[in-house]
Structure 1
Amino acid sequence: MRHPERRLLISVDMERYSRRSNVQQYEAQRHFRELLHEAADAVGLDRVAWMTQQAGDGELAIVPRDVSESRVIGRFVPELNRRLRHHNSSRLPAARIRLRVAVHQGLVHLDGANGFPGNAVVFVCRLCDAEPVKKALAAFPDAGVALVVSTEIFRDVVTEYPEEMRPERFVRIEVAHPDKEFREDAWLCVVDEDLAAVTVPGTLASAGQEGAAQTAEKPVEAAEAEPASSRLEHGGIRTGDIRVKGQNAIGPGAAAIGSVGRDANVGTRRDDPR
């Protein structure tokens, strides 16, 4: 047994494949492979170098080490979506090809006797088969791809390249397979569609909602971490062990709080000859 390698994993599954006739399945498989190869070629990816495990209605792909994650998510997936939309535009619903695509990364054995052993492989396949992903794709009849990525991929890739990845279009979902004792969070988008316009079961929050929540918390956190001398800036002035309060620290009502632990009036009255 060779040592496992850390690789990018892509699981792809075709919507409503089992409902097709034999001839429709045959044609769908042919178009499926053609579209994947054409999309990869269009963005400079060599699909021939990908290690794949075929499943009739989809595939598991192990991407070479030198392939950029951002190129796969930010360019390959949108190009695949564009080609699928064009392909489907001239076909009846029963003949259309719409895909669920899951992306994750982790350790995988490349020399398995009957596939690719590794928990990362199981993980990415669970994401691809998640109910929220199926529901999201079904909610947009003209869409080509529903993309789901693991939390690690969303954090390390999607949010780091916002101009290419559009993280604001993702929503956080719960992927649950109770019969397989699997429950994890992931991030979902339907390429070129607005998930905020529909209700998807299993949705926990959008990227925008989480970002707003984090922003709202920052002032509190910043205030707690701020030095005491800086926090007094809005309530007075500190000089050494003395803090002077009041309007500009001058005038009626000004007070000095010293290290002796008591307050002393340090203001001057207007009728005071001093």
Structure 2
Amino acid sequence: MCIAVDAQAYGGKNDRGQSEIQHDLPRILDRAARGAGLDRARWQIQRKGDEQLAVRPLDGTEPRLVDDYVRHLVSELGVHNSQRVPEARMRLRAVIHQGLVELAENGFAGSAVVATARLLNAPQLYDALAAHPAAALVLLLSDEVFRSTVVGGHTTLSGDEFTRVAVQVKEYEATAWLRVPTLGVPLAASSEPGTTETGKPVAPVRGEPAADRLRPAAAGGSDGGTGFRNDYRAEKINVTNVAGAVDARGAVFGFGTPRD
């Protein structure tokens, strides 16, 4: 997995402003990763002033990267920016891609790294920041990542929250998926959200309809009078009984109450 971020308007800041971004950016990224239960100390990171490119092996936690890490990153940026005047706030372009990467003498090598760099410079990311001044982050997923995580149903995100865009930077051309996390809705674009490059619809990723969810049993029923049932369908909900202290960083919990 390749994760790249770049701060907006870095070149227009004075020396002190640039130094502050270089100081704050890695700390914000580290806190977001910890909040998502990810360890950035194990990532290979290439730093370049206001920009970072991180590479991490595929290990099954890719949905957490696309979902939880981005959510915590938006939260950390919100905390950071809340104490600053608009001109001093940090705003990021972010890209997530996947592919083969080789560690080279002066950084990373491979077509996946080149593609990530091209995606990070996509004009659609700059346009999204300009169109939504309240947004601290805009995200672009490569088509491969979008399909394997969001369309695959492995995140809490909906395909309707993304807009399909055609990225063309230098020699690179590809379909990607744009999202402004603070908005949670697709942006206006030349392509309709939730469609493929050929115009065929992509099935939106939504939760189970409320009518199809199992409801808690009434008191005195087959639940032994507790008012709760544990016969949830495993493919939809995981039920875990715990006791004592639990490290639940990056977890998502649902709570319910018995109804008559």
The TM-score normalised by the length of structure 2 is 0.72
Q: Deviations over 1:155-212 (max 9, x none)?
A: 11111227512221100001112xx22221110101121554x645xx42212799x9
Corresponding residue number in structure 1 for 2:127: 135
CA distance in 1, matches of 2:178, 2:133: 17
Corresponding residue number in structure 1 for 2:75: 82
Give % identity: 37
> CA-atom RMSD, angstroms?
2.2
Query: Does the aligned pair in 2 maintain the 1:28–1:95 contact within 8 Å?
Result: no
Q: Deviations over 1:55-75 (max 9, x none)?
A: 101111001332511010110
**AA matched with 1:102:** V
Query: Does the aligned pair in 2 maintain the 1:50–1:62 contact within 8 Å?
Result: yes
Following TM superposition, where does structure 1 have runs of at least 4 consecutive aligned residues deviating by more than 2 angstroms?
Answer: 64-67, 212-215
Runs of 5+ consecutive residues of structure 2 not aligned to the other structure: 203-260
Count of residues paired in the alignment: 202
In structure 2, do the counterparts of structure 1 residues 65 and 209 end up closer, same or farther at CA, with 3 Å as the change threshold? Answer: closer
Of residues 204, 214, 225 in structure 1, which corresponds to 2:191? 204
Q: Deviations over 1:16-37 (max 9, x none)?
A: 1111111001011111111101
The TM-score normalised by the length of structure 1 is 0.68
Query: Does the aligned pair in 2 maintain the 1:70–1:157 contact within 8 Å?
Result: yes
Query: Does the aligned pair in 1 maintain the 2:97–2:145 contact within 8 Å?
Result: yes
Give the greater-gyration-radius structure (CA). Answer: 1
In structure 2, do the counterparts of structure 1 residues 92 and 171 end up closer, same or farther at CA, with 3 Å as the change threshold? Answer: same
Worse-matched range after superposition: 145-154 or 57-66: 57-66
Correspondence 1:111-260 to 2 at 5 A = 112-161=104-153, 164-177=156-169, 180-194=170-184, 196=186, 199-200=188-189, 203-207=190-194, 214=201
Corresponding residue number in structure 1 for 2:59: 66
SS at match of 2:84: coil
SS at match of 2:191: strand
Q: Per residue, is there more helix in 1 or in 2?
A: 1
Query: Does the aligned pair in 1 maintain the 2:64–2:155 contact within 8 Å?
Result: no
In structure 2, do the counterparts of structure 1 residues 162 and 107 end up closer, same or farther at CA, with 3 Å as the change threshold? Answer: closer
Is 1:93 matched with 2:86?
yes
